[in-house]
């Protein structure tokens, strides 16, 4: 059972979808599947954006696609950094030649709205970018306030929703997000390999009026939308089997209902956090900003995190994640994402953790 920071458990019907015969990427039957994926992604992202599709690549490919299309050399970008994935956004933007202002907070804390505002006032950036659900710390960012401040200052807003999409509320249009990307292997519970992404009309205008071509040919949204859009021009061979899987994963999420799915994560995440505190763990994300689908917690005194994690895997067939960055060597990251976020699975996880930390 997968209780790490992704991948999460995959539903049998998703695995079955992947085993269907491969057909051509321009076959009318396959093109109909692409159209349905676009429609379902718009429902899950809560957006009307026409340019909504899945990048061939994992969540990081979504990050790179978002930033290389929207930024040109010399453009200024303010990046909120609250953990590993915020740092990655800043690095991707720097490699694209942008001038990056990082606004950092200590690990476990949410971004500071006042500091973000000060940085935006000073830099007058083209783009403000940050992570919604910081998987390295378990912190949930207050997206609405930061996005509104950025838009009021005239910036485009790029949001990483890799760990949030289909786990906690994401409102791309409601929050005024210009580019939002996700991944398949977290709360969507589809194997890793695709990055759902959506671009607002404002973002597409900024891309169309670039002075320089997008430096990445593979991730050029203008070229890729000629395949995902009505023209159906070959760009690269679509990963057929992965798209079958995403189609089925989205169908399952919408069949359950997004609100019910968010509630399931909220409820079981709270139960996990309450229960491991009782077992002697210390939660590391600031109270009031804890993600239900990713819990970072220091292991009890006297427990060696690496040995205990190995025993969970060997004796119970359970995977949890180790700490990253500032939390390495002392903490676990426990994911309750998508198909892994089920009451009966949580009960087995808690029994196993209790058995191992007591012994
Ligand atoms: C997992 C993750 C990524 C990177 O996704 P990959 O699929 O590993 O490339 C980016 N951002 C966040 C917040 C993540 O949790």
**Per-residue pLDDT tens over the stretch 84-109:** 999 999 999 999 999 999 999 999 99
Domains in the chain, start-ordered, CATH in brackets? 12-255 (3.40.640.10), 257-357 (3.90.1150.10)
The confidence score (pLDDT) of residue 325 equals 83
The confidence score (pLDDT) of residue 359 equals 61
Q: Which atom of ligand 1 is nearest to the CA of 61?
A: 9
Is the per-residue pLDDT at 117 higher than 80? yes
**Per-residue pLDDT tens over the stretch 186-195:** 999 999 999 9
Residue from 80, 85, 188 whose mutation best tests the ligand 1 pocket (most atoms within 8 A of CB): 85
Average pLDDT over residues 200-229: 97
The confidence score (pLDDT) of residue 327 equals 87
CB 197 within 8 A of CB 180: yes
Residue from 2, 54, 57, 60 whose mutation best tests the ligand 1 pocket (most atoms within 8 A of CB): 60
Average pLDDT over residues 307-328: 94
Is the per-residue pLDDT at 331 higher than 90? yes
With a Cβ cut-off of 6 Å, ligand 1 is lined by 6, 58-60, 63, 85, 131, 133, 135, 160, 162-163, 183, 192
The confidence score (pLDDT) of residue 221 equals 98
**Per-residue pLDDT tens over the stretch 23-77:** 999 999 999 999 999 999 999 999 999 999 999 999 999 999 999 999 999 999 9
Across all residues in the chain, what is the average pLDDT?
97
| Predicted structure pTM score | 0.98
- Residue 220 and residue 155: Cα distance in Å, rounded? 21
The confidence score (pLDDT) of residue 326 equals 81
**Per-residue pLDDT tens over the stretch 261-282:** 999 999 999 999 999 999 999 9
- Residue 189 and residue 10: Cα distance in Å, rounded? 5
Q: What are phi and psi of 258, to 5 degrees?
A: -60, -45
Residues, the chain = 359
- Give 347 Cα–ligand 1 centroid separation in angstroms: 27
Neighbours of 91 (CB within 10 A): 15
Helix (H) or strand (E) holding 96: none
- Residue 311 and residue 171: Cα distance in Å, rounded? 40
The confidence score (pLDDT) of residue 358 equals 79
């Amino acid at each position: 059972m997968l209780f790490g920071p992704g991948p999460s458990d995959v539903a049998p019907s998703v695995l079955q979808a992947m085993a269907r015969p491969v057909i051509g990427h321009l076959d009318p039957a396959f093109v109909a599947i692409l159209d349905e994926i676009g429609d379902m992604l718009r429902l899950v992202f809560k957006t009307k954006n026409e340019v909504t599709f899945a990048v061939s690549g994992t969540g990081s490919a979504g990050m790179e696609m978002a930033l290389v299309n929207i930024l040109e050399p010399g453009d200024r970008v303010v990046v909120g950094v609250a953990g590993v994935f915020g740092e990655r956004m800043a690095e991707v933007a720097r490699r694209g030649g942008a001038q990056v202002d990082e606004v950092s907070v200590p690990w476990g804390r949410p971004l500071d709205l006042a500091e973000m505002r000060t940085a935006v006032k000073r830099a007058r950036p083209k783009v403000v970018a940050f992570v919604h659900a910081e998987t390295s710390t378990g912190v949930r960012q207050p997206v609405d306030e930061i996005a509104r401040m950025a838009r009021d200052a005239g910036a485009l807003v790029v949001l990483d929703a890799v760990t949030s999409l289909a786990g906690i509320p994401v409102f791309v249009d409601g929050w005024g997000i210009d580019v939002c990307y996700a991944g398949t292997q977290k709360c969507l519970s589809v194997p890793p390999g695709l990055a759902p992404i959506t671009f607002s009309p404002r973002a597409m205008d900024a891309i169309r009026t670039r002075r320089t071509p997008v430096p990445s040919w593979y991730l050029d949204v203008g070229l890729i939308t000629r395949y995902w859009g009505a023209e159906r021009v070959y760009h690269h061979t679509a990963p057929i089997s992965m798209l079958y899987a995403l189609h089925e994963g989205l169908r399952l999420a919408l069949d359950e209902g997004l609100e019910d799915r968010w509630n399931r994560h909220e409820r079981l995440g709270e139960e996990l956090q309450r229960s491991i505190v009782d077992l002697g763990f210390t939660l590391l994300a600031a109270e009031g900003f804890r993600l239900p689908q990713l819990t970072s917690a220091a292991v009890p005194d006297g427990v060696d995190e690496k040995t205990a994690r190995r025993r969970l895997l060997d004796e119970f067939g359970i995977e949890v994640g180790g700490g990253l960055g500032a939390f390495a060597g002392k903490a676990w990251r426990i994911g309750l994402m998508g198909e892994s976020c089920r009451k009966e699975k949580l009960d087995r996880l808690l029994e196993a953790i209790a058995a191992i930390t007591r012994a």
